[in-house]
Amino acid sequence: MACVTEALGMSLSYCATALSVEAEKRRISFESGRRIVELVKKNIVPRKIMKRQAFENAIRVDMALGGSTNTVLHIPAIAHDAGVRLPLDVFDELSKTTPHIADMLPAGEHYLEDLHHAGGIPAVLKRLRDRINNTMTVSGMRIHRIADMASISDETVIKAVEKAYHKEGGIAILRGNLAPDGAVVKQSAVSRKMMKFEGKAKVFDSEDEGMRAILDGRISAGDIVVIRYEGPKGGPGMREMLAPTATIAGMGLSDSVALITDGRFSGGTRGPCIGHVSPEAMEGGPMAVLEDGDRIRIDIPKRLIEVLLSDEEIERRLKTWKKPLPKIKKGYLSRYARNVSSAAFGAIMK
């Protein structure tokens, strides 16, 4: 998110990648404080910088770095507070026209310090200059000038567009009868053989249930693990499905097993792990009526996720579905569960 913030224009150049233990970070911190005072005196508030075109730049840089599925929650939520609407389709449209040029850990091969020494976010902007909007930044300089001033010192870390790791950005938005409002996958972390996958569902109503099944050896090649009721309302809170994805990968199943959830993932997720399924199960989305053995088809290039059931069968199941009782019935989390929006809108509070 620090890289996204810099591309958005809300932090100074190199702030995102400068190492915390180096003097450069201290200098940037001091300069940041000075700039805040100057901006306040000039009445330049965040909304004057965080406009639609600035958010598009942030999304492009996110895609170029390989993408994090969590940014599909954070960026729309920030945009909402800035009065900018960013539907999921914007992410997919920009991903299709943004090459993946920097392969960053934990899902890639390079460390953030490698990116910094190669030229940082300004160097990434330089690579994307023809694709980015010439927006204003907190530094007082426009993005194109920052890109023009940048230098690229390591082309193995920040690749040329024509030598990109992938022609498309790190994230893809999938839709279909299983996710009418959309679902998110980090396609840059999916192997070529798993970009299209069909398997039978193994359905679990919580992360804990899913983890027990994985650890007990009840998941095998060709299965699609479905973990539901972990969305913003169902969790409540949409916790990360780090343990199931890491365990599947650790067991050598990331090239033969997929995972689908209305929860979310960590940045280190590998394989065909599809999250943010919307509407979530707790809201009565189609995911709520999946059954063990249902066939599910995933086609990332076609942006498709579907259960191989007729519309009539899905509708029949939905009519008999009963909403589970909330896991938490009092306190802030209870209030949160009642008022939070879908992950498709950034899981913002209504």
Task: Give me the residues paired with residue 275 across strands.
Answer: 184
Query: Considering only CA atoms, which of 100, 77, 103 is closest in space to residue 264?
Result: 77
Distance linking the first and last C-alpha atoms of the chain: 23
Rounded to 5 degrees, φ, ψ at 167 are -70, -25
Selecting among 29, 139, 206, 266, the annotated active-site residue is 266
151 tagged catalytic:
no
Residues 6+ apart with CB under 8 A from 77: 346, 347, 348
Render the burial of 188-224: b for 16+ CB within 10 Å, e for the rest. bbbeeebbebebebbbbbbbeebbebbeeeebeeebb
The answer to whether residues 114 and 186 touch, using CB atoms and an 8 Å cutoff, is: no
The two three-digit tokens of residue 152, written as one number: 């690229």
- Strands 258-261, 223-227: pairing is parallel
What whole-number distance in Å separates Cα of residue 342 and Cα of residue 350?
10
Q: Label residue 85 left, alpha or beta by phi (over 0 means left) and psi (-120 to 50 means alpha).
A: beta
The residues carrying an active-site annotation are: 266
